[in-house]
Amino acid sequence: MDLNLKDRVAVVTGAGSGIGEGIARALAAEGCKLSILDRDASAAQKTASSLTGTMAQSTAVDVGDSAAVERVFAETIATFGRLDILVNAAGVLSTGLVADLPVTEWQRIAQVNLAGVIYCVKAAIPVMKRQRHGRIINIASVSAMRGGGSVGNTLYGTTKAGVVALTMGLARELGPFGITANAIAPAVVDTAMTHAALTEDAKRRILERIPLGRLARLSDIADLAAFLASDRAGFVTGATIPVDGGILTT
Ligand SMILES: NC(=O)c1ccc[n+]([C@@H]2O[C@H](COP(=O)([O-])OP(=O)(O)OC[C@H]3O[C@@H](n4cnc5c(N)ncnc54)[C@H](O)[C@@H]3O)[C@@H](O)[C@H]2O)c1
């Protein structure tokens, strides 16, 4: 299926590694121009320089810093001339019980996983409205539907539940401007984020609960993101789509 994404301009946060990187690669393969954002400057640079055959630049930014986000988006829009696709993939995991964790841990993860998404969306809305076209894709998690997940926890799931609610509200607010907002809810993908938590025992227990019998591949998430970024998905908005091998059914 030709997704007709050639020369569309995409910002992908957290694209220095894992799911964000996978999505950046999929969009580049479809011909998008890429702005790679990550708080890890060298990881962002590594992703951008490996995306051959299209325009790609990297910028180091902490998505939880609203002033820095505004500045970086203004620079990106000035460089590329437009902004068609925003993928919010930057995120941090936290494990532990609510009773045991200090409130600073909630503040740390909420600042990235929820406030960071809001800051990036706010920075993208004006240009998308002017274009009367835009695609916002947020990476949530099945933990949003379960109050925590196999390797996540209650606080992490709570930040992701906020992303689900934000996505629905954005769809309502921005639909009249030709902008869609959707979220993808992965279960467990073997990335740097989950690596430490994925002991052989944890992996076995998770696999027992996944009807399709395997963890997610980056391409499982990236292919859906590319579709949601395209005009083929023009009538899909406000949705949170699980890519979880069926784990939510068990
Ligand atoms: N891996 C999974 O199983 C899984 C499951 C569900 C949801 N998710 C979500 O997918 C997204 C990507 O996760 P991943 O598994 O690829 O993790 P990852 O750790 O491999 O990649 C996350 C990237 O985000 C960057 N980042 C972290 N904090 C940032 C900040 N404040 N500003 C800018 N960049 C920042 C990191 O440097 C890293 O490059 C996250 O939102 C995560 O919550 C992951």
Per-residue pLDDT tens over the stretch 160-186: 999 999 999 999 999 999 999 999 999
Catalytic residues: 156
* Torsion angle, alpha carbons of 197, 198, 204, 205, to 10: 20
85 beta partners: 10, 135
For residue 182, what pLDDT is reported? 99
For residue 94, what pLDDT is reported? 93
Residues 6+ positions from 104 with CB-CB distance below 8 Å: none
* Torsion angle, alpha carbons of 206, 237, 157, 194, to 10: 50
Q: How far away, in angstroms, is 73 Cα from ligand 1 center?
A: 19
Q: What are phi and psi of 81, to 5 degrees?
A: 85, -10
For residue 202, what pLDDT is reported? 86
Asked if the structure places residue 248 within a domain, the reply is no
Most informative mutation of 11, 191, 247 for ligand 1 (most atoms within 8 A of CB): 191
DSSP 8-state assignment for residue 232: G
Q: What are phi and psi of 79, to 5 degrees?
A: -70, -45
Q: Is the pLDDT of residue 152 over 70?
A: no
Asked if the structure places residue 2 within a domain, the reply is no
Q: Is the pLDDT of residue 56 over 70?
A: yes
Per-residue pLDDT tens over the stretch 67-114: 999 999 999 999 999 999 999 999 999 999 999 999 999 999 999 999
Q: Is the pLDDT of residue 20 over 90?
A: yes
Please state the rounded mean pLDDT for residues 41-46. 98
Ligand 1 atom with the shortest distance to the CA of 44: 39
Residue 188 is part of which domain span? Answer: 9-241
List ligand 1's pocket residues with C-beta within 6 A: 13-14, 16-20, 38-40, 43, 62-64, 89-92, 112, 116, 139, 141, 186, 188-189, 191-194
Asked if the structure places residue 4 within a domain, the reply is no
Strand order across the beta sheet in which 33-38 lies? 56-60, 33-38, 9-13, 85-88, 134-139, 179-186, 240-243
Number of folded domains that form the chain: 1
Asked if the structure places residue 50 within a domain, the reply is yes
Asked if the structure places residue 151 within a domain, the reply is yes
The band of 150, judged by pLDDT with boundaries at 50, 70 and 90, is: low
- 45: three-class secondary structure by DSSP: helix
Q: What does the alpha-carbon distance between residue 115 and residue 175 come to, in Å, rounded to a whole number?
A: 22
Asked if the structure places residue 1 within a domain, the reply is no
Asked if the structure places residue 3 within a domain, the reply is no
For residue 197, what pLDDT is reported? 78
Q: How far away, in angstroms, is 89 Cα from ligand 1 center?
A: 6
On whether the pTM is more than 0.75, the answer is: yes
Q: What does the alpha-carbon distance between residue 129 and residue 87 come to, in Å, rounded to a whole number?
A: 17
Q: Is the pLDDT of residue 146 over 90?
A: yes
Q: What does the alpha-carbon distance between residue 139 and residue 23 come to, in Å, rounded to a whole number?
A: 11
- Percent pLDDT > 70 in the chain is 99
For residue 196, what pLDDT is reported? 76
Ligand 1 atom with the shortest distance to the CA of 194: 1
Q: Which among 125, 114, 88 has a CA at the least distance from the CA of 14?
A: 88
Q: Is the pLDDT of residue 199 over 90?
A: no
Higher model confidence: residue 190 or residue 105? 105
Q: Which among 234, 119, 138 has a CA at the least distance from the CA of 185?
A: 138
Contact in structure between 246 and 206 (CB atoms under 8 Å): no
Asked if the structure places residue 246 within a domain, the reply is no
Q: Is the pLDDT of residue 228 over 70?
A: yes
The band of 218, judged by pLDDT with boundaries at 50, 70 and 90, is: very high
Q: How far away, in angstroms, is 91 Cα from ligand 1 center?
A: 4
Q: Is the pLDDT of residue 246 over 80?
A: yes
CATH number at residue 105: 3.40.50.720
CA 111 to chain centre: 15
Residue indicated by tokens 């025992």: 201
Per-residue pLDDT tens over the stretch 105-141: 999 999 999 999 999 999 999 999 999 999 999 999 9
